[in-house]
């Protein structure tokens, strides 16, 4: 027991805390990770591939899958793990995007059998790797051109057991032919795809003249999913020059008159079928797409299709303009041409990318030429030794026959014919049956051919023009062999008709009702005239705003937290007098505890807002200040929050008002005394001169509808002014 007590008394000394500067922590712990993600994972290089893609394709190439038989995807994934230390699921997901079955690439790199999902569907899952089969597409032969001739640098894999290429010697600008997206640390990359034939033609034109107008050869990107690009030449030129910018894409459709159905056949590359259908159904539930009865995905073995059933009498062209406006059937593609050049990320325009690829390709061809020269020189050297034997074959046979030791055959041949060891080894290895004049002459005849080929290769090494000529020839052959027509159409922006909701809204008279308990209802005039029912309200609720307007108007709501919320009248469903109406906090998405304290109904945002604060100040601001072009639903800082708000009034024009304080003092004035301010959050000017202890404004009434008898008796000609006590006989007023 004593021992246990002693153990409990042992003092635990915490380990010392080593303080470290944040800059040092970032440099030591964070920067290596960030650099690894940027250089070795997320950003593509000039061959158009990320490291994961390159390791996968090279593994398949070494497995003999270029022109070979299909093999299980699981075999490829397992073999790729010798180069790629990531898990099998990550490697397989990388493969999926490269397959023809997934349809993500304009020119797929992996031929596939089985279910590989679809790029246009986020829910269509791909099958497990044990069920699918793959091999390399024929176009991959152009990615691996002369890879065995030291055209690119090879490095050790992660465990030093194998070698892998740092780049693939792509014989065409694959960086522009297939789309590539990556998110690194502090930067990202999003490269769209271009038509292979156009890219090859543009590269050839650029090699001839770097100042050539690339837009005239390759006018716009081209995507595997087709659709159409809303073509703005100036915006596209900006993208080509800077590598940054965006363009809009539209889905393609056809109208089936027999079934009164719109069929969406191609969609923008940046969206999915689920996103489109989800948005359509959301708008139907919100009563904003009354023309549609149903929307569903009818994609099958014949291809992609979204079916949209229309209600009778619907104009399909008008509806499509509306859908383009409200759904992802029209979507944007944001370009960010960020590419690694010599392990340095760089955002480049199309011309710069082509220029960098040309420099890379020139290096590959020259490396290959040096390899060929070295191999041909070795062969030539051997044949020159063989040529010397031609002078006396019998002598060679005699030397070999009369040499007693095997180790002395090579030295004796060297001495007998004046050749070096390499040549002597080659001659000694020739089979006896080939030591005849015909065999030797046949091989010696290749000397002139080799000499000529070496001269041509040396010429290639010394001339950029000759190298570019070879590149152009290869590009022409590739374009002819693999080129295809554009899938993505160009839609000229100046030919488009833009959908404007206001032009398609039914306008009719109605009345807006707003209650103290935050309920709002829109009742058409025809319904109001034909009903004998009383308003349905919650217990102790009452209507505080009743405003006649039309369906094409806007509601502006001021809250007690200095926020403004806006709502188009036509976005609200019609209601009835006998209905409770819409609960505003839910409809507008108010903050917890927030309450609407004033409502304005307007069509043109004419007039002014008058804010009265508890500190006796008033601020007058144009209602136009709350009008926005981009249809924002919420504006913060709608009025000053430095003093609690006492009252808000909408003024169509300058008018007389009556300010009433909490202790029934009165101030009568014209609103023209309050200067108009340009900023919404202005504190305004002092209107009420407050004695010690402070007299707070309680409310403001229009003089034409005031509850104060003979209110003009309390007029103020200038401000600030003191509120006057009610004279005998003027009675008491309610502040509620």
**102 — pLDDT class (breaks 50, 70, 90):** very high
Alpha helices in 522-588 (DSSP H): 525-530, 584-588
pLDDT at residue 219 is higher than 90: yes
| pLDDT given at position 734 | 41
Kindly state the average pLDDT of the residues 681-690: 86
pLDDT at residue 671 is higher than 80: yes
In Å, how far are 268, 625, 716 from 275, measured between CA atoms? 11, 35, 61
Residue 297, both tokens: 């995905």
Residue 676, both tokens: 């108009």
**733 — pLDDT class (breaks 50, 70, 90):** very low
Looking at 30, 33, 131, 158, which residue is catalytic? Answer: 131
Kindly state the average pLDDT of the residues 283-312: 91
| pLDDT given at position 10 | 64
The per-residue pLDDT of the chain, averaged, comes to: 89
**450 — pLDDT class (breaks 50, 70, 90):** very high
Kindly state the average pLDDT of the residues 222-242: 95
pLDDT at residue 699 is higher than 50: yes
In Å, how far are 209, 464, 553 from 461, measured between CA atoms? 22, 8, 74
pLDDT at residue 736 is higher than 70: no
pLDDT at residue 482 is higher than 90: yes
pLDDT at residue 516 is higher than 90: no
Closest CA to 219 of 486, 527, 1, 579: 486
pLDDT at residue 190 is higher than 70: yes
Domains of the chain, earliest start first: 49-169 (3.90.199.10), 252-328 (3.30.1360.40), 355-482 (1.10.268.10), 505-603 (no CATH), 606-622+644-736 (2.120.10.90)
* Cβ count near 77 (within 10 Å): 24
The CA distance from 515 to 546, in Å, is 9
Of 41-55, 555-569, 710-724, give the range with the top mean pLDDT: 41-55
Q: Which of 181-185, 279-283, 510-514, 574-578 is least confident?
A: 574-578
The CA distance from 644 to 640, in Å, is 9
The CA distance from 275 to 293, in Å, is 18
End-to-end, the C-alpha distance of the chain in Å comes to 77
| pLDDT given at position 203 | 97
644: left (phi over 0), alpha (psi -120 to 50) or beta: beta
Neighbouring residues of 309: CB distance < 8 A, sequence distance ≥ 6: 259, 260, 261, 292, 293, 294, 295
**51 — pLDDT class (breaks 50, 70, 90):** very high
335-390 confidence digits (pLDDT tens): 999 999 999 999 999 999 999 999 999 999 999 999 999 999 999 998 888 888 87
The CA distance from 372 to 585, in Å, is 77
Cα-Cα-Cα-Cα torsion 631, 634, 635, 639, nearest 10 degrees, comes to 130
| pLDDT given at position 287 | 78
607-661 confidence digits (pLDDT tens): 999 999 988 889 999 999 888 877 778 888 889 988 889 899 999 999 998 888 8
pLDDT at residue 498 is higher than 80: no
Instruction: For residue 570, indicate whether it is catalytic.
Output: no
**pTM recorded for the entire structure:** 0.78
């Amino acid at each position: 027991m004593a021992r246990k007590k002693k153990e409990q008394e042992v003092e635990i000394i915490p380990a010392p805390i080593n303080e470290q500067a944040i800059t040092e922590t970032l440099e030591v712990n964070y920067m290596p990770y960030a650099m690894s993600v940027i250089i070795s994972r997320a950003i593509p290089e000039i061959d158009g591939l990320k490291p994961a893609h390159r390791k996968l394709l090279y593994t398949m190439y070494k497995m003999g899958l270029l022109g070979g038989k299909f093999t299980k995807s699981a075999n490829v994934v397992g073999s790729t793990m010798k180069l790629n230390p990531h898990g099998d699921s990550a490697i397989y997901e990388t493969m999926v995007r490269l397959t023809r079955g997934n349809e993500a690439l304009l020119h797929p790199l992996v031929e596939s059998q089985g279910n590989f999902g679809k790029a246009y569907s986020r829910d269509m899952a791909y099958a497990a790797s044990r069920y699918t089969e793959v091999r390399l597409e024929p176009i991959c032969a152009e990615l691996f051109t002369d890879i065995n001739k030291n055209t690119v640098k090879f490095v050790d894999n992660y465990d030093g057991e194998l070698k892998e290429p740092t780049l693939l010697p792509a014989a065409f600008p694959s960086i522009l032919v297939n789309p590539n997206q990556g998110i690194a640390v502090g930067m990202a990359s999003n490269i769209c795809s271009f038509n292979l034939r156009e890219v090859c033609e543009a590269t050839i034109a650029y090699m001839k003249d770097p100042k050539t107008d690339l837009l005239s050869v390759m006018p716009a990107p081209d995507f595997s999913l087709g659709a159409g690009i809303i073509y703005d030449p100036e915006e596209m030129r900006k993208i080509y020059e800077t590598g940054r910018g965006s363009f809009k894409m539209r889905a393609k459709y056809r109208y089936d008159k027999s079934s009164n159905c719109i069929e969406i056949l191609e969609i923008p590359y940046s969206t999915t079928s689920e996103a489109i259908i989800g948005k359509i159904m959301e708008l139907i539930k919100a009563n904003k797409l009354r023309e549609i009865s149903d929307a569903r995905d009818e994609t099958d073995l014949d291809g992609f299709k979204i079916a949209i059933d229309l209600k009778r009498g619907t104009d399909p062209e008008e509806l499509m303009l509306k859908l383009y406006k409200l759904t992802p059937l029209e979507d944007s593609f944001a370009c960010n041409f960020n590419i690694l050049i010599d392990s340095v990320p760089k955002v480049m325009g199309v011309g710069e990318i082509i220029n960098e690829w040309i420099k890379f390709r020139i290096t590959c061809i020259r490396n290959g030429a040096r390899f060929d020269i070295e191999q041909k020189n070795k062969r030539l050297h051997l044949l020159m030794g063989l040529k010397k034997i031609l002078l006396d074959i019998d002598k060679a046979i005699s030397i070999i026959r009369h040499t007693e030791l095997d180790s002395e055959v090579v030295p004796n041949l060297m001495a007998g014919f004046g050749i070096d060891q390499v040549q002597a080894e080659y001659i000694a290895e020739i089979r006896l049956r080939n030591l005849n004049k015909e065999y030797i002459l046949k091989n010696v005849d290749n000397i002139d051919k080799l000499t000529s080929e070496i001269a041509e290769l040396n010429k290639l090494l010394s001339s950029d023009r000759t190298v570019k000529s070879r590149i152009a020839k290869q590009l022409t052959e590739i374009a002819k062999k693999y080129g295809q027509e554009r899938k993505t159409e160009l839609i000229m922006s100046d030919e488009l008709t833009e959908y404007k909701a206001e032009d398609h809204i039914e306008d009719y008279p109605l009345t807006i009702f707003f209650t103290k308990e935050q309920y709002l209802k829109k009742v058409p005039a025809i319904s109001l005239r034909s009903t004998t029912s009383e308003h349905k309200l919650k217990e102790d609720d009452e209507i505080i705003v009743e405003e006649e307007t039309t369906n094409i108007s806007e509601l502006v709501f001021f809250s007690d937290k200095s926020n403004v919320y806006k709502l188009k009248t036509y976005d609200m469903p019609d209601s009835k007098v006998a209905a409770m109406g819409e609960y505003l906090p839910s409809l507008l998405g108010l903050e917890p505890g927030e309450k609407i304290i004033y409502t304005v109904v307007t069509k043109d945002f004419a007039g002014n807002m008058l804010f009265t604060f508890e500190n006796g100040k008033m601020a007058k601001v144009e209602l136009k200040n709350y009008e926005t072009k981009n249809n924002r639903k919420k504006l913060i800082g709608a009025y000053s929050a430095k003093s609690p708000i006492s009252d808000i009034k909408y003024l169509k024009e300058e008018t007389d008002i009556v300010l009433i304080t909490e202790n029934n003092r009165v101030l009568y004035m014209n609103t023209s005394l309050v200067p108009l301010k340009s900023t919404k959050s202005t504190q305004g000017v002092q209107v009420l001169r407050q004695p010690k202890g402070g007299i707070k404004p309680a409310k403001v009434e229009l003089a034409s509808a005031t509850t104060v008898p003979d209110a003009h008796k309390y007029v103020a000609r200038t401000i600030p002014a003191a509120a006057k006590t009610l004279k005998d006989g003027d009675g008491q007023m309610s502040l509620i």
